[in-house]
Structure 1
Amino acid sequence: MENKKLERDTTLEEIKKLADESDKNSGFQLGLETDFEEELIQLDLINDKQNPSESFRLFYAIEGILRTHLPPKSESEFSTFVREEKNIFLTGGKKKDASGRRGADPRQAYITTHLEVTLNELLRWMQEGGTKFDLFLIFRDLNIKYGYYKENELDKVDQTK
């Protein structure tokens, strides 16, 4: 058991180093997040229903924030880790299979329980001035909280290309 803990700490430490490196190399703002900065979205689980235009708006607001705060995926291994955790959460725990297929589309995530939760967490992260490693942990912790990792997967950090 201690060996698995050591492996997880090492892996998370590597991701933290990547995040710290990314923090040093950032410094631009696109301003895409300003539409949502005024207030956190109030969750309404009772009236949750499918709304493609709202899903589209929320998903691309999330993507805009990530695009603003993360280096391009092609240039950063760290961005790949963050985006994979985000996609696992938004697809209700669907991970890519051996062929690279997820079997779900994060753009069609549940609005109240996933898209709004994600956007609120990102807004909170920005307001608190969190680090990029904190950004990774937001999605990782949501995946753990929602039960999207089995006990034997908690020590793994997937990196999909």
Structure 2
Amino acid sequence: MAKEEEKLRILAKTDETKGEQLVFTAEGKASSQPEIKDFNIPSIENPELKFDLYYKGIQRLLIANLPKGKEHKKSRNYIYEEKNTFLTRGKRINEKGIRGGDGRMGYIIDAEEMLQIVMDWIMQNGSMVELYNTLRDLNVQRGHGTSRL
């Protein structure tokens, strides 16, 4: 009976704290804190911004600054693999050629970071090796491993 009364007391207290949520301290005492809206929640996704970041930013800069021609296709693919692995948060192309994710639809924060990496590379007049190493090291650091290519 005492347990049931305790449950009812907790539930009643929850109703009193509109705009806040009930939490329990490490000592087992009930307290309230601001609703989830006050927590650090990522911004709402924005399809137009994703499009602009990916196509008008990252891709446009890479196409303009990576070497052109058939003889450089393989080296461009190495860069694109690392870029897309980063943008899909670790989804690498498998042995069947399937990634299982689309870098264009990834998180805005990741696309903004990738755009900054590419812009820094261009501004520093970096080499393909430098760009590849930067992207590969970032992927390894985040637990995405290395490419099968």
TM interval, short-chain normalised = 0.5 to 0.7
- Equivalent residue, structure 2, for 1:4: none
Amino acid at match of 1:101: I
Higher RCO (CA 8 Å, separation ≥ 6 residues): 1
CA distance in 1, matches of 2:67, 2:88: 23
Q: Confirm or deny: 8 A CA contact 1:91 1:104 kept in the other structure.
A: yes
- Equivalent residue, structure 1, for 2:26: none
Determine what percentage of the aligned residue pairs are the same residue. 34
**How far is 1:73 from its partner?**
7.2
Would you say how many aligned residue pairs link Structure 1 and Structure 2? 108
* C-alpha RMSD over aligned residues: 1.8
Point out where structure 1 has 5 or more consecutive residues left out of the alignment: 1-44
CA distance in 2, matches of 1:73, 1:58: 25
- Equivalent residue, structure 2, for 1:82: 79
- Equivalent residue, structure 1, for 2:143: 147
Aligned with residue 63 of structure 1, among 39, 42, 59: 59
Task: Output the TM-score relative to the length of structure 1.
Answer: 0.61
More strand by share: 2
**How far is 1:126 from its partner?**
1.5
Stretches (4+) displaced over 2 A? 45-49, 71-75
Task: Output the TM-score relative to the length of structure 2.
Answer: 0.66
Point out where structure 2 has 5 or more consecutive residues left out of the alignment: 1-39
Matched, 1:91 2:88: yes
**How far is 1:135 from its partner?**
1.1
